[in-house]
Amino acid sequence: MSLFSAVRETFVGIKSLFTGMRITLGEAVKPNITVQYPHETLKMADRFRGHIKLVLDPETGKSRCTACNLCVRACPSGCIEVEGMKREGEKKKSVTEYNLDFTTCSLCGSCIEACPSDAIEFSKDYNKVSLNRADFDHMDLVKKLEAEAKVWAETHPSTSAAPAEANPVAPTAPEPKPAAEAPKSS
């Protein structure tokens, strides 16, 4: 090895060292993008496909599902079971049992496309974890929908209860603003 090649390799090594240090320092001053998972979560994309779930009718707070079984027929995996009955005073059937075997579901979306009443959609729940496989081979979607319906009922008071809660006292006139807050004319 000649003296010239040794000096050249030394300069190439120093240049490489400075290039690496420049990149390292550049990355060190960038803001953190790490999400501290259990305490923070990312918003799921609109196209994320979790397990299917039943949809509440926003006007009535009941399931849109009419137990027509089109989703059962459209499912290539055969992982959906639906039961329904016609209740008194209702025009259509209501779903009484909607079970999903998530262990065999391929998340293809055929059931969602086949539903004529838009009663099922993909869930945005991506944290479905368990140590027990039985938690996924029999997911009761009606039970989950009933929990959502309770929340809906709390946030949407019934119209029949509203007049009973009305206060018969006449509303009071608004209080005049203090002189200090009134705009000054020039």
For residue 52, which of 116, 124, 103 has the smallest C-alpha distance?
A: 124
The pTM score is: 0.62
Tell me if 86 is assigned to some domain: yes
pLDDT on residue 113: 95
Domain assignment present for residue 104? The answer is yes
In a domain, 170, yes or no: no
User: Running along the chain, 186 residues long, what does each successive block of 10 average in pLDDT?
Assistant: 89 96 93 86 86 89 91 94 89 90 92 93 86 87 90 74 40 46 47
Instruction: Please report whether residue 148 resides in a domain.
Output: yes
The CATH number given to whatever domain includes residue 61 is 3.30.70.3270
Q: Residue 184: inside a domain, yes or no?
A: no
Domain assignment of residue 130, given as a range:
52-156
Q: Tell me if 21 is assigned to some domain.
A: no
pLDDT score of 158 = 67
The domain tally of the chain equals 1
In a domain, 98, yes or no: yes
- Cβ-Cβ contacts under 8 Å for 123 (sequence gap 6 or more): 50, 51, 52, 53
With respect to residue 164, please indicate whether it lies within any of the assigned structural domains. no
